[in-house]
């Protein structure tokens, strides 16, 4: 690792999240002296890249540090001799997310960015792209670390490590950080006095909490969850978990577990938005447009408060502290997606899990959790099987395996309806699914068409 200044490359640099990243690195500059920051995006994101890139440079110019922000649509140019590569891209941009949400909802099932049919379709689009990035890194920056924030983060991280054969990869999510920031406030305790232990999958983990004497206070937090803000991300509709379930579990589920433990309530809310104000992706599109109008202000040189509405709060604390820990061999605990290596014996050793780990210059060393109870073990193994089928289908273009993944996913109704949703989503995403090209052509010839009118318009407009 170079000690004369770090080169960081962010793929998906035109994201509205980028100011979070800048803020985090500015805060940590004395520990992580950055020499070059490269923001990379695709042609469709060129305008946003220029807007957010100019703002990023203003943020650095307002700091005491002399850092140059480079903007490019040429990923290979950016990757040369990079020390860290962060990924935060969305294949198909927000319009693809809207398709992922609206098509399942049109069949009366959950449409969500990383869960259910939408999450799997996002993986189908994203897996081939991340593997191309890894191949470029092998040639242009073979010693770099890949820090992944691209969703579905766990599946993308598993793709990089297991199929891309790139061991120097860590997956991140801001959801555990939300919990660790909010839960101490619930009990009026300093967070530094608490010991957290997380284990599970990305967007499907559980955690326990201990005080400074080692006493398990998980049940105290469960009790407080019903009267106080528990840190549920802003992008998840908050409805209370069934209390008796949590009291039996004696572990705290993550916010995304609502889509599984409270499927009926979450589906009803999602359908209300689908028929009313629009899906979460449609709402985010409006929020993002407002953010970019703010970013255009030539006097704005700090992260605006409105960014917290986007759902990525504490992103910088996760991404920047991860890089800081590796660069400075800090040996600190963080919740990351990494290789299991026995931490959860209910899964294979080479499975990628989201787990409390100690981060050093050699990467993440997971903290062993041990065997899960039957209910949590059952959920975990089904979800991991779904992830594995999704990844392999995304790589091979195997339609039968894609259907298997859909049928495994608890958010997808079984029978012919699963096939109908899969078929529509493949046709709607044709532009981003070359691995499924032959099957998509067959489906189109068989008369498969998207029924949702808003998605029809997006397709007609070339998205």
Average pLDDT of every residue of the chain: 95
Question: What stretches of 309-398 show up as alpha helix (H) in DSSP?
Answer: 315-327, 374-396
What's the confidence (pLDDT) of residue 311? Answer: 55
Place 95 in a pLDDT band, splitting at 50, 70 and 90: very high
Instruction: Compute the distance between CA of residue 15 and CA of residue 11 in angstroms, rounded to an integer.
Output: 9
What's the confidence (pLDDT) of residue 304? Answer: 87
pLDDT tens digits, one per residue of 341-353: 999 999 999 999 9
126 contacts: CB under 8 Å, gap ≥ 6: 89, 91, 150, 151, 152, 156, 394
**Is 78 in contact with 70 (CB distance < 8 Å)?**
yes
Span 178-182, mean pLDDT? 93
pLDDT tens digits, one per residue of 165-175: 999 999 999 99
Active site residues: 256
What's the confidence (pLDDT) of residue 232? Answer: 87
Examine the pLDDT at 229 and tell me if it is beyond 90.
no
What's the confidence (pLDDT) of residue 3? Answer: 62
Place 355 in a pLDDT band, splitting at 50, 70 and 90: very high
pLDDT tens digits, one per residue of 265-307: 999 999 999 999 999 999 999 989 999 999 999 999 998 877 7
**Is 147 in contact with 87 (CB distance < 8 Å)?**
yes
Place 230 in a pLDDT band, splitting at 50, 70 and 90: confident
Residue count (the chain) = 463
Span 187-209, mean pLDDT? 96
pLDDT tens digits, one per residue of 59-93: 999 999 999 999 999 999 999 999 999 999 999 99
Within 13 A of 163's CA, how many CA atoms are on the CB side?
20
DSSP sequence for 72-96: ES-HHHHHTT-SEEEE---TTHHHH
């Amino acid at each position: 690792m170079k000690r004369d200044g770090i080169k960081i490359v962010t793929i998906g640099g035109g994201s509205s999240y980028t100011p979070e990243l800048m803020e985090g690195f500015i805060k940590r500059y004395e520990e992580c002296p950055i020499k070059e920051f490269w923001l990379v995006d695709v042609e469709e994101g060129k305008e946003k890249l220029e807007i957010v890139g100019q703002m990023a440079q203003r943020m650095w110019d307002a700091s005491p540090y002399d850092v140059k922000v480079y903007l490019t649509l040429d990923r290979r140019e950016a990757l040369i001799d990079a020390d860290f590569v962060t990924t935060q891209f969305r294949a198909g941009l927000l319009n693809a997310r809207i398709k992922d949400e609206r098509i399942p909802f049109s069949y009366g099932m959950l449409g969500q960015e990383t869960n259910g049919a939408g999450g799997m379709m996002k993986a189908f689009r994203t897996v081939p792209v991340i593997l191309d990035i890894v191949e470029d890194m092998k040639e242009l920056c073979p010693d770099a670390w890949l820090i992944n924030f691209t969703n579905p983060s766990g599946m993308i991280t598993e793709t990089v490590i297991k199929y891309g054969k790139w061991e120097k990869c860590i997956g991140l999510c801001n959801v555990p950080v939300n919990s660790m920031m909010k839960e101490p406030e619930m009990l009026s305790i300093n967070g530094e006095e608490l010991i957290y232990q997380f284990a599970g999958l990305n967007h499907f983990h559980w955690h326990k909490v201990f005080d400074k004497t080692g006493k398990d206070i998980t049940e105290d937090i469960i009790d407080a969850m019903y009267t106080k803000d528990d840190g549920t991300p802003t992008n998840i509709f908050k409805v209370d978990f069934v209390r008796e379930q949590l009291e039996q579990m004696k572990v705290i589920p993550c916010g995304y577990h609502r889509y599984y433990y409270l499927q009926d309530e979450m589906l009803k809310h999602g359908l209300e938005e689908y028929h009313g104000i629009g899906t979460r992706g449609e709402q985010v599109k409006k929020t993002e447009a407002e953010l970019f109008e703010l970013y255009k202000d030539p006097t704005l040189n700090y992260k605006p408060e409105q960014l917290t509405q986007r759902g990525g709060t504490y992103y910088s604390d996760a991404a920047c502290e991860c890089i800081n820990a590796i660069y400075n061999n800090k040996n600190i605990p963080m919740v990351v997606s990494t290789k299991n290596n026995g931490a959860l014996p209910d899964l294979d050793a080479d499975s990628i899990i989201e787990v409390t780990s100690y981060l050093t210059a050699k990467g993440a060393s997971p903290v062993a959790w041990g065997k899960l109870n039957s209910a949590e073990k059952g959920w975990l193994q089904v979800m991991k099987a779904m992830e594995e089928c999704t990844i392999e289908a995304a790589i091979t273009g195997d339609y039968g395996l894609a259907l298997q993944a859909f049928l495994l996913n608890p958010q997808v109704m079984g029978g012919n309806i699963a096939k109908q949703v899969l078929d529509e989503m493949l046709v709607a995403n044709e532009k981003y699914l070359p691995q499924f090209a032959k099957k998509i052509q067959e489906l189109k010839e068989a008369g498969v068409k998207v029924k949702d009118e808003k998605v029809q318009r997006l397709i007609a407009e070339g998205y």
